[in-house]
Amino acid sequence: MTIADRIREAREQAGVSQTELARLLGVTRSACSQWESPQGTAPRRERLEQLATLLGVSFEWLATGRGSEQAPAEVQVTSPDLPPDQQELLALYRRLPPRLRLAVLNLARDLQPERGETPNLRTLK
């Protein structure tokens, strides 16, 4: 199985379209298509790490085909730089299946106020 095959398989198992994945990664849909094409180019390491995290697969499997496809159990990450509410949010996010992670990312982006605006849940469109 090639890297293109593994990327496609992981994306399809997560129930994500190329268009949706491209938007979440901040790339074009054609970039995602290239990654999944047998003659296409493979994404850089940083992008592969993002793909593995978003799609809920192990980085090693996605990059090399070795090891388990399943993402490893999450390591508890705590940082003195993060307040407790952000640590909790991160821990909860990591427990979500890939499709719900994408929904949370979309929601967070939708909640971002425009420059100069104050966030207001009542005015969300």
- In a domain, residue 33? The reply is yes
- In a domain, residue 22? The reply is yes
Whether the model pTM is above 0.75 = no
CATH of the domain at 44: 1.10.260.40
* Residue 18 Cα distances to 4, 6, 80, angstroms: 13, 14, 37
- In a domain, residue 45? The reply is yes
Taking CB atoms within 8 Å and a gap of at least 24, the contacts of 73-81 are: none
Contact 7, 54 (CB under 8 A): no
- In a domain, residue 12? The reply is yes
pLDDT over 50 (residue 32): yes
- In a domain, residue 85? The reply is no
Q: Name the residue range of residue 44's domain.
A: 3-64
* Residue 46 Cα distances to 55, 86, 119, angstroms: 14, 23, 31
* Residue 29 Cα distances to 17, 21, 36, 65, angstroms: 9, 8, 11, 24
- In a domain, residue 94? The reply is no
- In a domain, residue 80? The reply is no
Task: Count CA atoms closer than 13 A to 81's CA, side-chain side.
Answer: 1
Domain count for the chain, please give it: 1
Three-state DSSP state, 70: strand
Q: Considering the chain, what is the average pLDDT of its residues?
A: 82
- How far is residue 123's CA from residue 26's CA, in Å, rounded to a whole number? 26
Which range of 64-68, 71-75, 90-94, 108-112 scores highest in mean pLDDT? It is 64-68
pLDDT in tens, 12-25: 988 889 998 998 88
- How far is residue 77's CA from residue 91's CA, in Å, rounded to a whole number? 8
- In a domain, residue 17? The reply is yes
pLDDT over 50 (residue 68): yes
